[in-house]
């Protein structure tokens, strides 16, 4: 038997469009199952709003199983809410108590302009990926296993970094609005593996400098790591910093050769 939470006070950011100034609006959720996910709770709220002929709350969501990186939400001052290493879609109402006040805000960063209500435009991340988050060599079909030997520890580290789903919680949680954890994860994922070596330093320089055009700077608070639904370590930021230093030197040499 599931329990029910009663009388939840929701304080939700409503903003009609990118240029609207926006405001908090209060809602009361009379009853909700503790088995509902946070987004299902918002669905229930929206059904009610639609029934009252009001505009539903707009929020990002897609897979609802914690792997697509679409959902966002600043819940009670924490990116993706109070549950560690969990995206909003996997946060369940059992984490809250009857009578709780829940404040919901969109991600806030100049690189993530608000589209409407709780939905933000995260395409600045795409700009970073476009500038180097890939390998250009045509890879053809799936190669034979162990054709390129990769030590287990290296494969694990790259795998950990590759878990980034690009949700933007790192930027949202960062007091400086920096995207170093995202960029670091994307760089580390490729730079650790043999397949990523050919373009390692071109990639690092391009991605770091593209990041620079949109985001703040890292002051090593560690808030990003705490907010990350995939628990990506700030070790990737140190790797990015190291590779950026090397790329500045190596790429200059490369250019003067041509």
- Report 66-85 residues binding another protein (CB under 8 A): 74, 76-78
Query: Within positions 50 to 69, which residues make up the interface with another protein, using CB under 8 A?
Result: none
- Give dist(CA 153, CA 222) in Å, integer: 24
Among 88, 208, 230, 232, binds another protein (CB under 8 A): 208
Stretch that binds another protein, among 34-42, 44-52, 141-149, 168-176 (CB under 8 A): 168-176
Q: Kindly state whether residue 196 participates in binding another protein, applying the rule CB under 8 A.
A: no
CA distances from 120 to 17, 90, 117, 123, 166 (A): 10, 20, 8, 9, 13
Containing 29, the helix (H) or strand (E) segment is strand 23-33
CB of 149 to another protein, least distance (A): 21
* 205 in contact with another protein (CB under 8 A): yes
Q: Does 160 bind another protein (CB under 8 A)?
A: no
The values of phi and psi at residue 76, to 5°, are: 50, 45
Crossing angle for the helix pair 200-214 and 123-130, to the nearest 10 degrees: 150
Instruction: Cite the DSSP H helix spans in the chain.
Output: 38-51, 123-130, 152-162, 169-173, 180-191, 200-214, 223-227, 235-257
Number of amino acids touching another protein (CB under 8 A): 72
Using CB under 8 A, which of the segments 31-39, 50-58, 110-118, 189-197 binds another protein?
110-118
The residue range among 42-50, 88-96, 144-152, 208-216 that interacts with another protein, by the rule CB under 8 A, is: 208-216
From candidates 2, 19, 26, 146, binder to another protein by CB under 8 A: 19
């Amino acid at each position: 038997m599931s329990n029910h939470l009663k009388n939840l006070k929701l304080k939700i950011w409503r903003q009609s469009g990118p240029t609207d100034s926006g405001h908090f609006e209060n809602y009361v959720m009379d009853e909700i199952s503790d088995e509902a996910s946070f987004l299902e709770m918002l669905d229930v709220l929206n059904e009610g709003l639609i029934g009252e002929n009001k505009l539903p709350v707009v929020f990002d969501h897609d897979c609802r199983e914690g792997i697509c990186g679409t959902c966002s939400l600043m819940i009670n001052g924490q990116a993706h809410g109070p549950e560690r290493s969990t995206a909003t879609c996997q946060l369940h109402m059992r984490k809250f108590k009857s009578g709780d006040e829940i404040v919901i805000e969109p991600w806030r960063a100049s690189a993530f302009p608000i589209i409407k209500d709780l939905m933000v435009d995260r395409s600045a991340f795409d700009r970073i990926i476009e500038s180097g988050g890939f390998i250009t060599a045509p890879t053809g079909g799936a190669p034979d296993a162990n054709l390129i030997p990769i030590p287990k520890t290296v494969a694990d580290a790259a795998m950990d970094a590759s878990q980034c789903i690009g949700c933007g919680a790192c930027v949202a949680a960062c007091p400086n609005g920096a995207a170093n954890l995202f960029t670091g994860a994307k760089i580390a994922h490729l730079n650790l593996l043999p397949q990523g070596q050919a373009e390692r330093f071109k990639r690092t320089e391009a991605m770091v400098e593209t990041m620079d055009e949109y985001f703040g700077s890292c002051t090593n608070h560690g808030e990003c790591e705490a907010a990350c639904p995939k628990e990506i370590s700030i070790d990737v930021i140190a790797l990015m910093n190291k590779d950026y230093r090397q790329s500045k030197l190596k790429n200059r040499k490369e250019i003067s050769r041509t």
